[in-house]
């Protein structure tokens, strides 16, 4: 499979990591997830992200899961591996093993604790010397999580400086304008094009696509909707894309809750028949009876609205099972 | 007007503070806002909140605005005054003047910097000694802003301990369960009833009403929608309430952006003909051309959806002007 | 009195604000403090800083205290006024009144919430348009408090851009190297000289003076020691300066504790006979019996060490009263 | 070697992890460090702490280093293993392997992200079910690092609830009073005794010993000084203990700088001939020429002061080499 490039486009789901009720990784569930994502028509998948509970896996579990996913994908899509290691030695070793196994690139965020632009530049210079400019990077710009804020100018300078940065995973909240500014840098010829995929649950996806985003790189439990929304935008049917998106917005908003959102997503995947257990590794959230009932109501409403709008076909393959 | 009680119910809009382009407070705009809120049928209004840019007003400007609003309201609704003062001397003086002027209560948040429950309890004990238990308080539970997280248990203990706490303004994100737990405390007879009004832009309002919230205390630029959603829930038409809410959700989500959200709200109020200028006092956000176009699209979509759903009447009195 | 310049040198104590036990400002205590600072031979005093509990004073109290201090100083030293206002309207009004009253400059920190260098530059550009480049500014670089981290490069660019910035109040922790880098910018002719005065309780004062600091701008309760240490460094007796400093280091370290440090300092000033009450305005810290005993032990040890070292004369005028 | 108990007393150095210049772990250096600590007369050593750069080691490196240290110690002291794993599965596996290898206990901090006491209690309940109450825990109370603040009351309740908590590693800044309150809980019979060892570079060690601390658990590069200070306090010679401590305070203060402090400590150990390289794994701090000169001056001053005070013998075995 080709490596990640600056032309990346469309939806790259961030995969959850399915566990059995006893906490072991559910590889059969991972297979079903992979198959499902491919069936949605995605160009790639990200594993071992924050949503994938990467920091609760052992190093061997993480690499094992990556290898398993790569074998299941079998060249039909790109696989991006989240690389959240604190030390460069660990990161370099992981990067080597992941790329050797066939990953298309790494998702890397600036380390928490970087305080100034000078430190950010030094960090990426040093990191790049370790993993090499040839290793494609999806730069995760997620300051709510890392505490590291990058202006559009700084981000542009990093992109210019490091050809290895292929994708900006844009997920700073309240930062729609940043996409416009990144695109303006390109329109003004100040640097070459970069792919911009949005994260943050795609809570502003239509606005972000209007402003020049190339797609999404997020873990919403209805990736086929994201795919179809992006497709409509790409063929000039933005209004129809946003109409579809808005039908799902109540769910997207519900999933976007930090913390419990992960448990909600796992439960939706479970109800869709893709994974056997919604278990989150400890310490982590779990739904209670009220949460289940609330989610059930939201899913019923979605189902009804999709039917009313004649859009039920969008989630035809794996509808949500009635409880 | 009676003071705030634990039976507070419905929508208490958090008012913006309108400014002229030269930065002076626009009292005529404030009059129009007050009239509009009252026309929506709200039981009360909150002025001098964070959204009201209270921390950029001088003490005299703040008290002046409160007095002006009280005179315009003229007993037709309750007016809650935000009291964000750092020191107790300033807070006590403000509280005295605000209550004397006719406020129905004060909105008070735990001070940033409180680290432990012990400190939180000591803080409210000391604060209550200053302002007196007779002064009604809407306790703003907004940890994203203050950094002070209160468990349902702690919040319940505060409510029990201080009869002056009449309302919990619930706006912790990812905390729907907290409402259920506060209501469970009451169902189990562990303490008396408190009013729960939700903030955080009402981004989960239908879910929160299902879980027992009494209404909303937030600054969404379509308060008549909040009023109608709460009304439908209160008469057993929850599904119809949520249907209406969902039509506005794309806007609510757009307004909810921290920072620029305030500028978006002011611009909507301006387009609705209620205020003359969308100016935010410096330092503060302002919309650029892209932001204006984006907002225009969202408002057009709302308009079309309301008409399609036969709900256009909800914002009949002050529709959004075509640009 | 001349305005603050980039040649500022020596010790500018940050003054506490003395209160009576009933919480009112103790103007007679303020007079004694002013007289004491002048007797120490300082070129200036800062009032209304964080240590001065400025955020717990009303606007009128703050301006009143500034005016009182200016009259007592009566042209014998510079008075810098802390200006911690959130909004530019309030800041501009305060700045005008403070400078008109005779302040030599304002102490201003970047506003909490600034996330990127771009935002920092925009902030100071806008702020400067409000207060004017002619108003001298002591730029407080205190990221532990504001959350805004400035690299030496950014700080240098701000100094170059705004002639009004006369002093950098350096109090980032773990940032001794920043002083060396600021001085290197000057040695390399990249910009003109700026005054660097250190804060953060002077916990690294000798190291900072070695690296090029011009003095201190901090609230240590023994300013005469700071004056003498700086004097010795300035006449080439660095080792003797550091010897003296080290005798006080146990106290400096004790005072430096965030929160309770303010109460400790006030108590020391009280024991020195300068103020009548060690009261901190609520909410704020107070010493308990253990704290008093502990401080007593430390002061006794200091006393003994000063005598043993033949340095007792340094605090001759206002020794610490035996309890 | 017996397991950690609530009677732990004295100095448990937090060990650095020595690396060769190429980044590999320097096992011979580790041997010398172990021998040195034992020669200082310590009852135990902590490895794999934050100071030990545990988060930059692979899991195998960490367990390998622990095993190596245990073999070198060979039963002559206790070895505490830092356990900073995010997920309970990883933590449980590590705990099992570490205890099986002969560790005397684990150092565990509350996970960053815990927001309320309720969450803290739930966390330790769940964690204890995983590792078992029989596994001795040194509870690291380090809110500057974790963001989790525990009141003395909460800490006391945790100690009471979990017999496995043997040691409180006290390193909240500005929290001397917490030690007094923990001891008061015991004096009042509210719970059994716990060992309190102080961290935070021992920057307030004499005050903490006066208030009832049992010793220190920190990484100061002169552990023999800590040992001797604690010894003098324990035999009723507190003043002599504090006199010795104060001679080292300029160094302790210098080492305590977050970030660069680790590089300073490694350089001191290098100059003392214990490790071959002061290298910190990337990303991490390194000393520049100014830092080296500054440290040299401080060490020379220490040397002179120890000789003047007749205390040079304290660091006789491994003095600091002249550069």
- The tens digit of pLDDT for each residue in D49-63 reads 999 999 999 999 999
Q: Is the pLDDT of residue C321 over 90?
A: no
Q: Which residues face D138 on adjacent strands?
A: D107, D167
Mean pLDDT of chain A: 97
In A, which residues are within 8 Å of B211 by CB distance?
A: 290, 294
d(CA B226, CA B215): 8
- pLDDT tens per residue, range D10-32: 999 999 999 999 999 999 999 99
Averaged over C276-303, what is the pLDDT? Answer: 98
CA distance C228 to chain B (A): 36
Task: Give chain D's radius of gyration (CA, Å).
Answer: 19
Q: Is residue C84 part of a domain?
A: yes
A93 touches chain D (CB under 8 A): yes
A55 interfacial to chain B (CB closer than 8 Å): no
* Dist. CA D112–CA A112, nearest whole Å: 13
Inter-chain contact C291–D177, Cβ cutoff 8 Å? yes
Total tally of structural domains belonging to chain A: 1
Q: Which among C55, C86, C283 is the nearest to B126, CB-wise?
A: C283
Q: Which residues pair with A81 in a beta bridge?
A: A47, A106
Q: What is the pLDDT of residue C59?
A: 92
**A111 vs D contacts (CB less than 8 Å):** 283
- Chain B residue numbers with beta carbons less than 8 Å from the beta carbon of D117 are 116-117, 151, 154
Which residues on A lie below 8 Å from C118 (Cβ)? 151-154
Distance, in angstroms, between D61 CA and closest chain B CA? 36
| Chain C contact present for A118, CB below 8 A | yes
Does some domain include residue B230?
Answer: yes
Interchain CB contact of C20 with B (< 8 Å):
no
Tell me chain C's radius of gyration from C-alpha atoms: 19
pLDDT attached to residue C17: 98
Total Cβ atoms within 10 A of residue C159: 23
Of B207, B246, B258, the CB nearest to A173: B258
- Is A155 a residue whose pLDDT tops 70? yes
Q: Using CB atoms, which residue from C177, C253, C257 is nearest to D290?
A: C177
Which of helix, strand or coil describes residue D24? coil
pLDDT, tens only, A166-224: 999 999 999 999 999 999 999 999 999 999 999 999 999 999 999 999 999 999 999 99
Does C301 fall in a domain? yes
DSSP B123: H
**Residue C85: what pLDDT?**
87
Q: Please report which confidence band the pLDDT of residue C322 belongs to, taking 50, 70 and 90 as the band edges.
A: low
Of B199, B198, B181, residue with least CA distance to B190: B181
C321 versus A17: the higher-pLDDT residue is A17
Report if residue D322 sits inside a domain: no
d(CA D314, CA D255): 19
C177:D294 CB<8 A: no
* pLDDT on residue D85: 87
Domain that holds residue B145: 10-317
Residue A323 has pLDDT above 90, yes or no: no
Residue D323 reports pLDDT greater than 90: no
Sheet-wide strand order for C105-108: C10-11, C215-216, C195-198, C165-170, C137-141, C105-108, C78-82, C44-47
* Best CA proximity match to B19, nearest among B71, B59, B74, B57: B57
Return the structure tokens found at D292.
């080296």
Write the residue in D118, D119, D154 that is nearest to B116 by C-beta.
Answer: D154
Asked whether the beta carbons of D306 and D314 are under 8 A apart, the reply is yes
Q: How far apart are CA B28 and CA B253, in angstroms?
A: 29
Residue D89 lies in a domain: yes
D3 domain-assigned: no
Which of B177, B250, B291 lies nearest to residue A249, judging by beta carbons?
B250
Question: Length of chain A, please?
Answer: 323
pLDDT in tens, chain B (323 residues): 799 999 999 999 999 999 999 999 999 999 999 999 999 999 999 999 999 999 999 999 999 999 999 999 999 999 999 999 889 999 999 999 999 999 999 999 999 999 999 999 999 999 999 999 999 999 999 999 999 999 999 999 999 999 999 999 999 999 999 999 999 999 999 999 999 999 999 999 999 999 999 999 999 999 999 999 999 999 999 999 999 999 999 999 999 999 999 999 999 999 999 999 999 999 999 999 999 999 999 999 999 999 999 999 999 999 997 66
Whether C128 is covered by a domain: the verdict is: yes
DSSP for C48-107, please give it.
Answer: SSTTTTGGGS-HHHHHHHHHHHHHHHTTSSEEEEE---SSHHHHHHHHHHHHHHT-SEEE
Peptide bond connecting D283 to the previous residue in cis, omega within 30 degrees of 0: yes
Residues 6+ apart with CB under 8 A from C26: C18, C19, C20, C275, C276, C277
How many angstroms away from the CA of C295 is the closest CA of chain A? 35
Quote the CA–CA distance of B222 and B228 in Å, as a whole number: 10
Distance, CA of B287 to CA of B183 (rounded, Å): 40
Is-contact C147 C112, C-beta < 8 A? yes
Helices (H) and strands (E) in chain D, counts: 12, 8
Location of structure tokens 């961290």: D199
Contact across the interface for C119 and A151, Cβ inside 8 Å: yes
- Residue A200 is assigned to a structural domain of this protein: yes
Residues 142-201 of D with CB under 8 A from C: 173-174, 176-177, 180
φ, ψ at D197 (rounded to 5°): -115, 135
ipTM: 0.98
CA dihedral C155, C156, C157, C161 (to 10 degrees): 100
D31 with D236: CB under 8 angstroms?
Answer: no
Cα separation, D266 vs D270, in Å, equals 6
* Structure tokens given for B167: 């309302």
Rounded Cα distance between D267 and B49, Å, is 53
- CA torsion B251-B256-B257-B258 (nearest 10°) is 160
Length reported for chain B: 323
Neighbours of chain C (3+ CB pairs under 8 A): A, B, D
Q: What is the CATH number of the domain that holds A163?
A: 3.20.20.70
DSSP characters over D199-262: -GGGTTHHHHHHTT--EE----S-HHHHHHHHHHHHTT-HHHHHHHHHHHHHHHHHHTSTTHHH
Cα C314 to chain center, whole Å?
20
Q: Report the C-alpha gap between A167 and A208 in whole angstroms.
A: 15
Contact D299, D268 (CB under 8 A): yes
Whether C283 and B58 lie within 8 Å, measured CB to CB: no
């Amino acid at each position: 499979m080709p490596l990640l490039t600056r032309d990346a486009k469309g939806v790259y789901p961030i995969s959850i990591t399915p566990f059995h009720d006893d906490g072991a990784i559910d590889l059969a569930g991972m297979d079903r997830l992979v198959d499902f994502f491919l069936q949605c028509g995605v160009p790639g998948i990200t594993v071992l992200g924050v949503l994938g509970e990467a920091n609760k896996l052992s190093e061997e579990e993480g690499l094992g899961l990556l290898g398993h996913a790569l074998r299941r994908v079998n060249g039909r899509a790109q696989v991006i591996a989240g690389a959240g290691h604190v030390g460069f030695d660990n990161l370099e070793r992981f990067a080597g093993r992941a790329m050797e196994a066939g990953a298309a690139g790494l998702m890397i965020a600036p380390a928490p604790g970087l305080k100034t632009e000078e430190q950010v530049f030094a960090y990426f210079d040093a990191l790049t010397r370790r993993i090499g400019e040839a290793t494609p990077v999806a730069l995760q710009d997620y300051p709510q999580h890392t505490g590291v804020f990058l202006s559009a100018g700084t981000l542009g300078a990093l992109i210019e400086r490091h050809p290895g940065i292929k994708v900006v995973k844009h997920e700073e909240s309240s930062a729609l304008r940043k996409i416009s500014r990144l695109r303006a840098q390109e329109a003004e010829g100040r640097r070459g094009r970069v792919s911009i995929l949005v994260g943050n649950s795609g809570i502003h996806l239509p606005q972000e696509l209007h402003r020049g985003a190339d797609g999404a790189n997020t873990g919403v439990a209805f990736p086929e909707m994201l795919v179809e929304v992006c497709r409509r935008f790409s063929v000039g049917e933005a209004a129809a894309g946003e109409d579809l998106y808005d039908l799902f917005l109540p769910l997207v908003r519900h999933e976007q809750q930090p913390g419990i959102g992960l448990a909600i997503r796992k439960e939706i995947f479970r109800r869709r028949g893709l994974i056997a257990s919604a278990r989150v590794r400890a310490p982590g959230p779990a739904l209670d009876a009220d949460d289940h009932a609330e989610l059930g109501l939201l899913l019923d409403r979605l189902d009804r609205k999709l039917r009313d709008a004649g859009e039920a076909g969008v989630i035809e393959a794996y509808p949500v099972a009635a409880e």
